[in-house]
Amino acid sequence: MISEGKKRIWNEYQKEIADDHYFYVRSCVRQNFFPGSEKTFLKIMQHELGKDVYENPSHTTCTGIGYHSDIVPFETAMTVIARQFALMTEAGYENLVTSCITSFGLYSEVLETWHHFPELLQKIRMHLKNATGREFNIPKNLAHASDLIYKFRNNIAAKSTNRLINKQTGKPLKAVEHIGCHYSKMFPSKGVGGAEYPYVLIGMIEEWGGEVIDYPERRHCCGFGFRQYLVMANRGYSIACSRKKFESMEPYKPDLILTNCPGCPMFFDRWQYAISEMEGKTYGENDHGIPVLTYEELSGLILGYDPWDLGLQVHQVAVEPLLDKIGVQYNPLEKYQGIDHKDLGKPNMPSILKFY
């Protein structure tokens, strides 16, 4: 009986994730800071898993960062999103996958709003028609890109060449996971595991051999806070949030931080650098930081992709300590090279943080 009850409760935390044929919308932050991650996501979906993922070059930002910094009105954001739905409809797709958590949260907010206020849906249809002549269907299935990697984590494991195991000790590597506030805090039913048991990243870590660390500030925000980072005068808020998390996770000696949202890894990566410059403090071993990975980058490492193809060279916190623990083969001399081994020089060294 107890087991049945648990199954019933757990069912409430599941979400339906379409099996194939996705209309793909990109992330502003991921494209700017982690371009290799989007490249890797499509490579895994299309080439490793044989899935149909379509991108229309005419899709744009959803305006999410502008919306959540309050310069973009809600009706404007809704109509821009309606235009993405129109492009999806015109291309014959019904499942939409976003590369961004801010987008995913905003798409969810828009769909929920239309559900509760159908008159507003009609108004937005009229706005879109007036502005662009386009019409749209509402997607049957909305997923975040990590939902798909989660769904196919077993298939990825079956093709893996690396595991989240310390090659020297044979022990599981310890991972901190950070799912990003807008994944399921607003609409728990839209995320795998909801807001109480967000399982999307845990599922990947456990399937690929790692161990998940529970720590006090696990669900605290990374500190983006939109306007709290965008305006220089406000950034104390942003760095303070990240620092609170680093201090809380440090005693557990994590081997990596795994992230869901495009923004969070950028903040965890850059704020570790900034804290090292400001306070001389580093959170990893031997003056290194704690490597921060996107789930696409981790998937790529598990599949044996070259770390410099994944874009790990554009991280400010060096990833080599993690690569060495996993036993990933890489050529340090190629880290900062362009195509055809073009010499691009090297970034300057930070004052404290060990870098390369």
Which residue's structure tokens are 């660390």?
Answer: 213
Binding mask 218-257 for another protein (x = CB under 8 A): -xxx-xxxxxx-xxxxxxxx-xxx--x-------------
Question: Pick from 311, 322, 325, 328: which binds another protein (CB under 8 A)?
Answer: 311
Cα distances (Å, whole numbers) of residue 11 to 150, 189, 192: 16, 10, 10
Number of residues near another protein (by CB under 8 A):
93
Torsion from C-alpha of 45, 31, 144, 72, nearest 10 degrees: -150
Q: Output 101 or 204, the one with its CB closest to another protein.
A: 101
Tell me how far, at minimum, the Cβ of 317 lies from another protein, in Å.
9
CA separation for the pair 175, 292 (Å, rounded):
10
Tell me: does residue 316 bind another protein (CB under 8 A): yes
CA separation for the pair 33, 53 (Å, rounded):
22
Tell me how far, at minimum, the Cβ of 124 lies from another protein, in Å.
8
Tell me how far, at minimum, the Cβ of 86 lies from another protein, in Å.
10
Tell me: does residue 216 bind another protein (CB under 8 A): no
Cα distances (Å, whole numbers) of residue 274 to 138, 176, 280, 290, 356: 43, 20, 9, 13, 17
Q: Output 171 or 287, the one with its CB closest to another protein.
A: 287
Q: Output 210 or 350, the one with its CB closest to another protein.
A: 350
Please list every residue from 146 through 205 that binds another protein, using CB under 8 A: 181-182, 185-186, 188, 195
Sign of the torsion angle spanned by Cα atoms 248, 254, 259, 263: positive
Q: Output 209 or 262, the one with its CB closest to another protein.
A: 262
Please list every residue from 253 through 292 that binds another protein, using CB under 8 A: 270-271, 273-274
3 state DSSP class of 214: coil
Query: Backbone phi, then psi, for 94, in 5-degree steps?
Result: -125, -15
What's the half-sphere exposure (Cβ side, CA atoms, 13 Å) at 165?
Answer: 12
Please list every residue from 47 through 76 that binds another protein, using CB under 8 A: 55-61, 63-66, 68-76
Question: Pick from 45, 51, 98, 105: which binds another protein (CB under 8 A)?
Answer: 105
Q: Output 61 or 166, the one with its CB closest to another protein.
A: 61
Question: Pick from 31, 89, 160, 248: which binds another protein (CB under 8 A)?
Answer: 31
Tell me how far, at minimum, the Cβ of 254 lies from another protein, in Å.
21
At how many degrees (to 10) do helices 118-132 and 74-90 cross?
70
Question: Pick from 4, 5, 116, 158: which binds another protein (CB under 8 A)?
Answer: 116
Q: Output 192 or 221, the one with its CB closest to another protein.
A: 221
CA separation for the pair 242, 106 (Å, rounded):
23
Tell me how far, at minimum, the Cβ of 65 lies from another protein, in Å.
4
Q: Output 164 or 303, the one with its CB closest to another protein.
A: 303
Q: Output 49 or 72, the one with its CB closest to another protein.
A: 72
Tell me: does residue 347 bind another protein (CB under 8 A): yes
Q: Output 95 or 102, the one with its CB closest to another protein.
A: 102
Q: Which residues partner with 54 through β-bridges? A: 23
Cα angle: 177, vertex 182, 184; to 5 degrees: 75
* Number of other residues whose CB lies within 10 A of the CB of residue 217: 13
Question: Pick from 15, 18, 23, 36: which binds another protein (CB under 8 A)?
Answer: 36
Tell me how far, at minimum, the Cβ of 160 lies from another protein, in Å.
22
* Number of other residues whose CB lies within 10 A of the CB of residue 258: 27
CA separation for the pair 221, 183 (Å, rounded):
12
